[in-house]
Amino acid sequence: MKSGFAERKTKETQISVRVELDGKGISDIDTGIGFFDHMLTALSKHSGISMEIKCSGDLYVDGHHTVEDTGIVLGQALADALGDKSGIARYGSAYIPMDEALSFCALDISNRPFLVFKGEFENQMIGQYDACLTEEFFRSFSFNAGITMHLDMVYGKNDHHKCEALFKAAAHALKMAVKPLENGETLSTKGSL
């Protein structure tokens, strides 16, 4: 079982993340932002990646540092678990519906980080979570994990549904991409990523 750990301590946030690629998707998450915890729990459950995330952030300012820095540390912990990224399927994609909303994710665990994010929210806030931070989270996560990620909120009306469908689409794409290959080789014509 592959596992990874990362932590970050600044004047704005103190974060520790442990992940296990165990296929169980067990989570213990506390960032201080309820809806964000809900999204990270969904990411863990649907990807099968067990996650322990503890964050203390400057929420008296707003949620930006907490959300962005959690993405950074989660990406670093996943990169730690994947090592040289050999022996994994590497690619994954998924469409996920949630009631009236549909979201899509395609990704490549390539060591060439990039993010394409399409979609807009109708409202600024979902509970105590600033919806615009969704793109910030996925940018910091993908860049620190070494993932090329394309995310699209295809359509929808309810911001909760749109956001949750997006996190679950990312989760199912990750589940496909981290799946071990039978031969254990690196899926690249170059022989390494």
- Under 8 Å between Cβ of 82 and 178: yes
- Written out in words, the top-level CATH class of the domain with range 3-177 is alpha beta
Task: Name the nearest CA neighbour of 126 among 96, 95, 94, 153.
Answer: 153
Per-residue pLDDT of the chain (193 residues; tens, 9 = 90+): 799 999 999 999 999 999 999 999 999 999 999 999 999 999 999 999 999 999 999 999 999 999 999 999 999 999 999 999 988 999 999 999 999 999 999 999 999 999 999 999 999 999 999 999 999 999 999 999 999 999 999 999 999 999 999 999 999 999 999 999 887 676 666 666 6
Provide the residue ranges of all domains of the chain, joining segments of one domain with +. Answer: 3-177
Give the whole-angstrom CA distance, residue 45 versus residue 39: 10
